[in-house]
Amino acid sequence: MADASYFDSISRLDGQLFIGGAFRPGEGSRLPVENPATGETIGHIAAATGAEVDAAVAAARAAFRIWSRELPRTRANALHRLGDLIAADALNMARIMTAEQGKPVNEAKGEILKLAEACHFYAEEATRVHGEIVPNDQPGFQSLVVREPIGVVGAITPWNYPAELVGWKLCASLAAACTIVIKPAEITPYTALAIAEKCADAGIPAGVVNVLTGKGSQVGQALVEHPHVDKIAFTGSSAVGLHIQQSCPQVKRLSLELGGNCPLVVTASADVAAAVKGAARRSFRNCGQICIAINRIYVHRSVYDEFVAQLGAAADALSVRNGLENAAADLGAMASGEPLAKTKEHLADALEKGARLIAGGKAPEGAEYAGGHFFRPTVVADCDHSMKVMTEETFGPLIGVAPFDDLDEAVRLANDTPYGLASYVYARDLVEIQTLSQELDYGNVAINNVDAGIMNAPYGGRKQSGVGYEHGREGLLEYFNFKHVRLHHGVGN
């Protein structure tokens, strides 16, 4: 049985909003939050009212005047303290996340520790923000290009990575001297509120960080429409991202990290065992509820049967358990009934159109699974692009596999999607590697590995997968305006 102290944290955060440096009970209606492994209600969030949205934005705006005048080193120190506090409480924060999201505790703890790493990375970046002096077209002039923080950021985040996807926006905002109002997904609010607690403990000044809970269509939309929110940093589905872009009533900076439909290409020269290991990890981790999950795999016909058989065995070997009680399980519950229903729909569609079921295909059996949203990791082979599994984002533990005969065909199939987030390649032939890294129309290409994002490199999508970047220096630049100061000093006229 898992240590239950996380439950005290959830009770403490129940129905709370974090505005102007303090927790306060929300005045709006309550929405239940479910443990997806059991179906039990673990608490309720407050749906922030219009007045509470205004209060949070006003607090962030007031704090911006102070925070943006602090020395970079002061902001860096605050971020380092935040990272240390998060790392020190990683297990408890992980259990909070598992209770609301379903991923096994060890995996959740890994995510919390990566959030701590993001705090330290951006703390260091905060002290290295510099401008440029650019050449002029006349003597006696000097042009400075300086970077100034955008102002108040509205961060709207999904439920699949409840810590990191809040954290990247939070850390970049703080490093850039912006202030932030965070609206986490309604089904995973407690992780964000627990992060707010750490911000208070780290001594981050009141109003710099605010957290509002509630429905996206109300609270999220209110941030999008708010005249005093200067930038929206959104991660979520392409449909909601497009809606935000279309419904934003003022000119406002937007960064949109959206959906994916990520291919893996396994060529004739690939190390098949390594490709299978990578595919099993990136298809099924977090039950496939990852924007950069491998959705579909194209395998050269010469190694196709071998690959399919090995991937089926790898999927069958993965454990699916209640992630709170089995911290080391490979998969926990899916986060809600919605992605589970879509997974089943995509599976039924593929089988109906002639795909071959290789592994999984159903929920695990037994009393442990009765109340939750569980599904076995599932592999279907002999797929084609008439099937949803190959053309839509499933966001579940289902992977479609298809053979190809030459590299041009693999490139054409891999790029046959409106999305452009991440793609994966397993190959040992240098020409194949170079061709695929050039031709794949994606923001990220991972070759002979499946970890497409690292903290020090820009991470973002193209096409319907979004605009803007997180991570790296490019991610930080998203939080700045540039200002050109053209000075006539007259020297050398």
User: Which residue number places its CB atom closest to ligand NAD?
Assistant: 216
**CB 326 to ligand NAD: min, Å:** 25
Region from 30-38, 170-178, 235-243, 363-371 binding ligand NAD, contact rule CB under 6 A:
235-243
Contacts of 370 (CB under 8 A, 6+ apart): none
**CB 487 to ligand NAD: min, Å:** 40
Comparing CB distances to ligand NAD, the nearer of 234 and 304 is 234
Of these, 173, 179, 221, 423, which contacts ligand NAD (CB under 6 A)?
Answer: 221
Binding positions for ligand NAD, 283-302, rule CB under 6 A:
291
Binding positions for ligand NAD, 182-201, rule CB under 6 A:
183, 185-186
Burial of 245 (0-12, 13-18, 19+ CB in 10 A): middle
HEC letters along the chain: CCCCHHHHHHHHHCCEEEECCEEEECCCCEEEEECCCCCCEEEEEECCCHHHHHHHHHHHHHHHHHHCCCCHHHHHHHHHHHHHHHHHCHHHHHHHHHHHHCCCHHHHHHHHHHHHHHHHHHHHHHCCCCCEEECCCCCCEEEEEEEEECCEEEEECCCCCCCHHHHHHHHHHHHHCCEEEEECCCCCHHHHHHHHHHHHHCCCCCCCEEECCCCHHHHHHHHHHCCCCCEEEEECCHHHHHHHHHHCCCCCEEEEECCCCEEEEECCCCCHHHHHHHHHHHHHHHHHCCCCCEEEEEEEHHHHHHHHHHHHHHHHCCCECCCCCCCCCCECCCCCHHHHHHHHHHHHHHHHCCCEEEECCCCCCCHHHCCCCCCCCEEEECCCCCCHHHHCCCCCCEEEEEEECCHHHHHHHHCCCCEECEEEEECCCHHHHHHHHHHCCCCEEEECCCCCCCCCCCECCEECCEECCECHHHHHHCCEEEEEEEEECCCCC
Of these, 68, 237, 415, 437, which contacts ligand NAD (CB under 6 A)?
Answer: 237
Region from 47-55, 95-103, 212-220, 477-485 binding ligand NAD, contact rule CB under 6 A:
212-220
Of these, 86, 171, 244, 427, which contacts ligand NAD (CB under 6 A)?
Answer: 244
Comparing CB distances to ligand NAD, the nearer of 43 and 236 is 236
Q: Residue 217 interacts with ligand NAD (CB under 6 A)?
A: yes
The tokens for 107 are: 């995996």
Q: Residue 461 interacts with ligand NAD (CB under 6 A)?
A: yes
Comparing CB distances to ligand NAD, the nearer of 417 and 465 is 465
Nearest to 154 by CA among 54, 76, 86, 29: 54
Are 243 and 276 in contact by the 8 Å Cβ rule? The answer is no
Of these, 207, 260, 263, 472, which contacts ligand NAD (CB under 6 A)?
Answer: 260
The tokens for 412 are: 């054409």
Region from 10-18, 137-145, 158-166, 399-407 binding ligand NAD, contact rule CB under 6 A:
158-166
**CB 236 to ligand NAD: min, Å:** 3
**CB 291 to ligand NAD: min, Å:** 3
Q: Residue 240 interacts with ligand NAD (CB under 6 A)?
A: yes
Residue 377: how many other CB atoms lie within 10 Å: 28
The tokens for 320 are: 């699916």
Q: Residue 243 interacts with ligand NAD (CB under 6 A)?
A: yes
The tokens for 125 are: 């970046």
Count residues contacting ligand NAD (CB under 6 A)? 32
Which residues are designated catalytic? 257, 291
**CB 284 to ligand NAD: min, Å:** 16
Q: Residue 421 interacts with ligand NAD (CB under 6 A)?
A: yes
Binding positions for ligand NAD, 349-408, rule CB under 6 A:
393, 395
**CB 222 to ligand NAD: min, Å:** 8
Q: How far apart are CA 393 and CA 40, in angstroms?
A: 28
Q: Residue 263 interacts with ligand NAD (CB under 6 A)?
A: no
Of these, 151, 189, 220, 332, which contacts ligand NAD (CB under 6 A)?
Answer: 220
Region from 81-89, 134-142, 153-161, 425-433 binding ligand NAD, contact rule CB under 6 A:
153-161
Of these, 9, 16, 38, 157, which contacts ligand NAD (CB under 6 A)?
Answer: 157
**CB 247 to ligand NAD: min, Å:** 7
Region from 68-76, 94-102, 218-226, 301-309 binding ligand NAD, contact rule CB under 6 A:
218-226
Comparing CB distances to ligand NAD, the nearer of 75 and 226 is 226
Comparing CB distances to ligand NAD, the nearer of 217 and 434 is 217
Q: Residue 45 interacts with ligand NAD (CB under 6 A)?
A: no
Q: Residue 472 interacts with ligand NAD (CB under 6 A)?
A: no
Q: Which residue ranges make up the site for ligand NAD (CB under 6 A)?
A: 156-161, 165, 183, 185-186, 216-217, 220-221, 224, 235-237, 240, 243-244, 257-260, 291, 393, 395, 421, 461, 465-466
